[in-house]
Structure 1
């Protein structure tokens, strides 16, 4: 028999909201919310989180007073805990509530997990003002500074502007997505949006924050209500792996939770850690997402169990490792840990999900290695394999394409015979190529 999951039953009141989050998905709830719940001062640091567009998840979480079960899944067993750091959950369309939190003097930190595509960046790294959703938000804010907007850039800038008008002090904006220099990238996005809006007040709003750079890591696949199984009726559980890492660098003008006591690391230079993760973990994920389905695999664990896919990983890691600022022993340990994490058969990490928005991911995960190797006169087989598999993916092979920014698929991709593509990708899972 199960019991309703609520704070009265647990005797755990909601903490006052001092953190605002954009992107109410499983990763946020397994990562930033987990670190906050495990900080010794968690009782002082509640989180109000907003979705992008989804209304179902905030409805489920609100019915549970923001509580949910985190299932930490090892190859042998599950460990379950109820996470209590989420004090409020809102649908993204609730723009009035979003601005209200920004006006509060006690707000100190704003985190976001909106995926690479959510930063609406152009190829050169700045704000892509040609995107219809960006243009629509610019038009809306030109007419009314508090008009409902949809892109992450506009939502953040509108919030900062509302905060300045209310006379509240600066906050720390903490992006937690897989972008190099994600703090400066976010700052640039808001500065350029302010430039499009023109008025000095918008520029002052963009400057009314510090921008913290981060590296985040925790594999978090999709879950179902059945994953909770704790004796509580939980409509919003999250499944994750035991490993977790959070590296941060930057200023917090209004304070922050003691995340370091929960295992987070604060450093002066995040770049080596983010490059290691982007290249070795995320680059490997992209390789498997596009190449492994061509051999019949649906999850990361299935792919890593295939000796040929493991050999492809080794090829990629050897190339990428040459361009990372870490001792060889540390990189070897990191790669060994990745293989162990990837091989966990009870973490069903779907390759189709990883494959989404490849046109946003490959330029930061793979192309820097390809360019660096070509500059040295080398043709890097590992990087070329990722690009070749991605082109096959765009052609319609493997998992379905889900990438709004993907290049149009020309006739070349649709008609070129398979013999033109690398036979080691096309091989059977039973073929020791």
Structure 2
């Protein structure tokens, strides 16, 4: 039930419901992660909330009411009951990259729910991963089946796992955002979600129990999300990670501020030029998408905070920067100077800025013990997709 889910999957479902008959809509039972506060706030308003889209030209407020139940994540009985309900056809999962790492409780929780569904003979269901990981559906499937142990075969018979690419910048909400909604709508909505006008959802996989027709809201169903994953990870997400490091080192707070810095914008463009060579999409399509991306990064009214992006940065950098660097080496190409600079800047940020989380602090200590001349090579050679130094 996090902000991204409410600005993205729940928003797309609302687009479907807006076009459906009175009895043909879809409803969402949304669960929080670790804390109950979001469920408590949303329940006070029967699951209805405001999406505030902020562009350089102005604000637009829309009402979303596709969430029909808001449930604290600790309510295990409700979790199992919802997944055992034959009317439930889709489980979307938005838990950030860290939720797929070793030690995360997420795969086990999903496995428990799918076993309860199998016990109830409730029919097939699609599990849709909505996090920034290559092959996110497959990664989630493997983690869930491992967590299920001897019950893995029953889960395979019950659930399909769908790969996706999701994209919509959703910064943390501030008191000023709540005030803006109040002025636009006359309503006081503490569950407001702030986002940009741009949104993208690309899906590949089977929906054996059916699904909302998200294509009505602009989603795309394709045979393979791979090239679109790479486009997002290697361009948008890599640009975010670089600017989060470089921008904070220069004292900036948001992506728009950092991208407005002439030097940092030039470094970002150079990084994009290097990284786009790893993306197997037509040149014209990439050019158009990068044109949109420049507008998005420069949007001064989306306060996408650099410290928010810096959280769990080793996992993110492994996927966004190290992976395409390794691909260049495997193809017999030299690592581009812009990629080296981005990694060096990230390493500097680890060592010179306050850590955002304990896992990042641990990686910073390990890198700090390596001789300075060997640090970038150590990251390229040994940073794992789980964000640890092997």
**1:204 and 2:154 equivalent?**
yes
244-253 vs 361-370, which deviates more? 361-370
Q: What is the correspondence of 1:32-431 to structure 2 with a 5 Å cutoff?
A: 32-39=9-16, 40-41=19-20, 43-120=24-101, 128=102, 131=103, 151-195=105-149, 199=150, 201-224=151-174, 225-229=178-182, 230-375=185-330, 376-395=332-351, 397-398=352-353, 400-404=355-359, 407-410=362-365, 413=368
Shift of 1:260: 0.6
- CA, structure 1 residues 312+62, in 2 after alignment: closer, same or farther (shift >3 Å)? same
Shift of 1:411: 7.7
Structure 2 residue matching 1:81: 3-state secondary structure: strand
Structure 2 residue matching 1:82: 3-state secondary structure: strand
- What TM-score do you get using the length of structure 1 for normalisation? 0.80
Shift of 1:297: 1.1
* Structure 2 counterpart of 1:142: none
- What TM-score do you get using the length of structure 2 for normalisation? 0.89
Give the Cα–Cα distance (whole angstroms) in 2 for the partners of residues 37 and 295 of structure 1. 40
| 8 Å contact from structure 1 (residues 68, 83) kept in 2 | yes
Shift of 1:267: 0.7
- CA, structure 1 residues 383+403, in 2 after alignment: closer, same or farther (shift >3 Å)? farther
Deviations 1:77-102 (A, max 9, x none): 11111111010111110111100101
| 8 Å contact from structure 1 (residues 357, 405) kept in 2 | yes
- CA, structure 1 residues 412+58, in 2 after alignment: closer, same or farther (shift >3 Å)? closer
Please tell me whether Structure 1 or Structure 2 has the larger radius of gyration of its CA atoms. Answer: 1
| 8 Å contact from structure 2 (residues 165, 201) kept in 1 | yes
Give the Cα–Cα distance (whole angstroms) in 2 for the partners of residues 60 and 394 of structure 1. 35
Shift of 1:181: 0.6
Deviations 1:92-125 (A, max 9, x none): 10111100101111110000110000112xxxxx
Give the Cα–Cα distance (whole angstroms) in 2 for the partners of residues 27 and 411 of structure 1. 32
Task: Give aligned pairs, total.
Answer: 365
What stretches of structure 1 of length at least 5 have no aligned partner? Answer: 1-23, 121-127, 135-150, 422-433
Higher helix share: 2
Give the Cα–Cα distance (whole angstroms) in 2 for the partners of residues 214 and 77 of structure 1. 30
* Structure 1 counterpart of 2:380: none
Structure 1 residue matching 2:70: 3-state secondary structure: strand
Deviations 1:201-226 (A, max 9, x none): 34312441011110000011111332
| 8 Å contact from structure 1 (residues 157, 206) kept in 2 | no
- CA, structure 1 residues 294+62, in 2 after alignment: closer, same or farther (shift >3 Å)? same
Structure 1 residue matching 2:359: 3-state secondary structure: coil
- CA, structure 1 residues 203+194, in 2 after alignment: closer, same or farther (shift >3 Å)? farther
Give the Cα–Cα distance (whole angstroms) in 1 for the partners of residues 269 and 157 of structure 2. 44
Shift of 1:314: 1.1
Deviations 1:264-304 (A, max 9, x none): 11111111111111111011101111111111211000011
Two-structure CA RMSD over aligned residues (Å): 2.1
Give the Cα–Cα distance (whole angstroms) in 2 for the partners of residues 25 and 180 of structure 1. 21
Structure 1 residue matching 2:278: 3-state secondary structure: coil
